[in-house]
Structure 1
Amino acid sequence: MTEPFIGEIQMYGFPFAPRDWAFCAGQLLPLQQNTALFALLGVTYGGDGRSNFALPNLAGNAAACQGQSAGGYQRALGETFGTAQVSLQALQLPPHNHAMSVYAQRDATKLHGTPAQGDAVTIPTTPPFADTTPSNASFAPTMVAPTGGGLPHENRQPYLTVNFCIALSGIFPQRP
Structure 2
Amino acid sequence: MKSKHLIAGLLFLLPSLFIANHAIADAPFIGEMRYFAGNFAPRGWAFCDGQLLPISQNTALFSLLGTMYGGDGRTTFALPDMRGRALIHSGNGPGLTPVTQGSKSGSETVTMTVAQMPSHNHALLANGTAADTATPNGNAIAAEKIYKAGQPADKTLHTESIANSGAAQAIDTVQPYIALNCIIALQGIFPSRN
Matched positions, count: 128
**2:96 matched to which residue of 1?**
72
Report the CA distance shift for 1:69/1:83 in structure 2 as closer, same or farther (over 3 A): farther
Bigger relative contact order (CA 8 A; separation at least 6): 1
For each residue in 1:147-169, what CA deviation from the matched residue of structure 2 results, as whole angstroms up to 9, or x when unmatched?
A: 5x212122122211111100010
Greater alpha carbon shift after TM alignment, 18-27 vs 69-78: 69-78
Question: Aligned to 2:64, what secondary structure does the other structure show?
Answer: helix
Gaps of 5+ in 2: 1-22, 121-163
**1:5 matched to which residue of 2?**
29
For each residue in 1:83-109, what CA deviation from the matched residue of structure 2 results, as whole angstroms up to 9, or x when unmatched?
A: 12111234423357xxxxxxxxxxxxx
| 1:175 pairs with 2:193 | yes
Q: Is the helix fraction higher in 1 or 2?
A: 2
**2:181 matched to which residue of 1?**
163
Distance 1:84 1:93 in 2: 19
Task: Please list, as runs of the form range in 1=range in 2, the aligned pairs for 1:104-115 lying within 5 A after superposition.
Answer: none
Distance 1:13 1:43 in 2: 28
**2:60 matched to which residue of 1?**
36
Question: Aligned to 2:46, what secondary structure does the other structure show?
Answer: strand
Partner amino acid for 2:184? I
Quote the RMSD (CA, aligned, Å). 2.2
Question: Aligned to 1:29, what secondary structure does the other structure show?
Answer: strand
**2:112 matched to which residue of 1?**
88
Q: Structure 1 residue 72: deviation in Å? A: 3.0
For each residue in 1:12-47, what CA deviation from the matched residue of structure 2 results, as whole angstroms up to 9, or x when unmatched?
A: 122211111111111111100101100111111111
Which of the pair has more CA radius of gyration? 2
Distance 2:114 2:63 in 1: 49
Distance 1:94 1:14 in 2: 45
**2:51 matched to which residue of 1?**
27
Report the CA distance shift for 1:70/1:26 in structure 2 as closer, same or farther (over 3 A): farther
Distance 1:42 1:80 in 2: 17
**1:53 matched to which residue of 2?**
77
